[in-house]
Amino acid sequence: MTAIQISVFLENKSGRLAEVTRALANAGVNIRALSLAETIDYGVLRLIVDKPKEAKAALTQAGFTVSETEVIAVEMPDRPGGLAEIVGMLTKRGLNIEYLYAFVGQRGENAVVIIRIDTIPEAIAALQTGGARVLSAAELSGI
């Protein structure tokens, strides 16, 4: 029940982000969500896309350093307190989140949060016990 996130190492140079998006566009890959973590010298771009395999191939081809990361995608109610509930389910069990980011889907009232965590099975169990809906890779791609 995990999803694949595409991570790209980017130096802080002008135009790099544009090159990533161009490479994905040329490969017909649609970006669902993204987050950028940055330091002074470099950044890590994290992408949720509709076609992870194609995305990785296209970016590698274009000369980027790309890796696949296993993440958890969880549906959450798009209202105040929605994210707090999800995070609460994990922290209550002492599970430590590495990072997360969220996006609002195209249908319905629900948003999706992407969670990167070291203890994936425990986290999924905690979320499901708490009543959250964990999305499969197929469901995520279908959004």
Partner 1 sequence: MPESTPSWNREIEFMDPAALRELQSKRLRAAVKRAYTRVPHYRAKLDAAGVKPSQIKSIKDIHLLPFTTKDDLRETYPFGMFAVPMEEVVRIHASSGTTGKSIVVGYTRKDVATWAEVMARTLAAGGTHRGDVLQNSYGYGLFTGGLGAHYGAELIGASVIPTSGGQTQRQVQIMQDFGATVLCCTPSYALVIAEAGREMGVDWEKMPLRVGFFGAEPWSQTMRAEIENALKVHALDIYGLSEIIGPGVGFECLQKNGLHLNEDHFYPEVINPETGQPVVPGERGEVVFTAFTKEALPLLRYRTRDLTRFIPEPCPCGRSLRRMERVTGRSDDMLIIRGVNVFPSQIEQVLMGVEGTTPNYLLVVDRKPRQMDELEVQVEVSPERFSDEIAKLEAVADRIRSGIESILGLHVTVRLVEPKTLERSMGKAKRVVDRRDLGK
Residues lying near partner 1 in the complex (CB under 8 A) are found at 5, 7, 9-11, 37, 39, 41-42, 44, 46, 60, 63-67, 69, 98-99, 116
Least Å distance, CB 37 to partner 1, is 5
Least Å distance, CB 123 to partner 1, is 16
Phi, psi of 13 (to 5 degrees): -130, 140
Phi, psi of 12 (to 5 degrees): -75, 80
Least Å distance, CB 108 to partner 1, is 29
Q: What is the CA radius of gyration of the chain?
A: 16
The candidate with the shortest Cα–Cα distance to 133, out of 76, 54, 78, 95, is 76
